[in-house]
């Protein structure tokens, strides 16, 4: 008996919708990262992007536990001397709530070309509307 090795032709991608209202950021990001990486697929191999697409709605209603909503800080570097920019969670969730979920999920994916291609299958939207109805997404509980 030979071992089945999947190729790119064998992949059929599904679409899932996740409602972020009242969800904890880390737990939601873990679910989404597992789906994006394809680890829930029985034919998973680590060197092929086997993951499905994930649509996250109601990004502005995500929550953090404890005092993290007051203490969490997002940092990025512009590339110039003295170019470290910091923004608090409360300010970023008010300005761009999609960015909070994208940062959390992409931080759980591999830091390679494969991980970046997995990250492109994540779609995050403010509010409960999304333009992917034609893909017939399944709601994930």
pLDDT at site 6: 84
Encoded tokens for 30: 């873990």
Answer left, alpha or beta for residue 4, where phi above 0 means left and psi between -120 and 50 means alpha: beta
Is the pLDDT score of 56 beyond 80?
A: yes
pLDDT in tens, 77-131: 999 999 999 999 999 999 999 999 999 999 999 999 999 999 999 999 999 999 9
> Confidence band (pLDDT; 50, 70, 90) for 36?
very high
Structural domains of the chain ordered from first start: 15-65+97-129 (3.90.1180.10)
pLDDT at site 72: 97
pLDDT at site 37: 95
The neighbouring-strand residues paired with 54 are 16, 122
What are the DSSP E strand ranges found in 10-90?
A: 15-19, 53-57, 73-77, 84-88
What are all long-range contacts of 90-95, with beta carbons under 8 Å and residues at least 24 apart? 93/60, 93/62
Alpha-carbon torsion, ordered 64, 127, 53, 133, to 10 deg: 160
pLDDT at site 141: 81
Dist. CA 23–CA 36, nearest whole Å: 18
Three-state DSSP state, 11:
coil
Encoded tokens for 99: 């960015």
Is the pLDDT score of 11 beyond 90?
A: no
> Confidence band (pLDDT; 50, 70, 90) for 5?
confident
Quick check: 57 and 78 in contact, CB under 8 A? Answer: no
Dist. CA 108–CA 105, nearest whole Å: 5
């Amino acid at each position: 008996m030979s071992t089945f090795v999947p190729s790119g032709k064998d992949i059929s991608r599904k679409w899932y919708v996740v409602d972020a209202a009242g969800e904890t950021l880390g737990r939601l990001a873990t679910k989404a990262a597992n789906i994006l990486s394809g680890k829930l697929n029985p034919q998973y191999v680590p060197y092929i992007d086997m993951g499905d697409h994930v649509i996250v709605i109601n990004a502005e209603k995500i929550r953090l536990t404890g005092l993290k909503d007051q203490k969490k800080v997002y940092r990025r570097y512009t590339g110039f001397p003295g170019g470290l920019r910091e923004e608090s969670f409360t300010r970023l969730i008010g300005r761009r709530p999609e960015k909070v979920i994208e940062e959390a999920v992409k931080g759980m994916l591999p830091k390679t070309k494969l991980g970046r291609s997995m990250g492109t299958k994540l779609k995050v939207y403010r509010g409960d509307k999304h333009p992917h109805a034609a893909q017939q997404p399944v709601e994930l509980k």
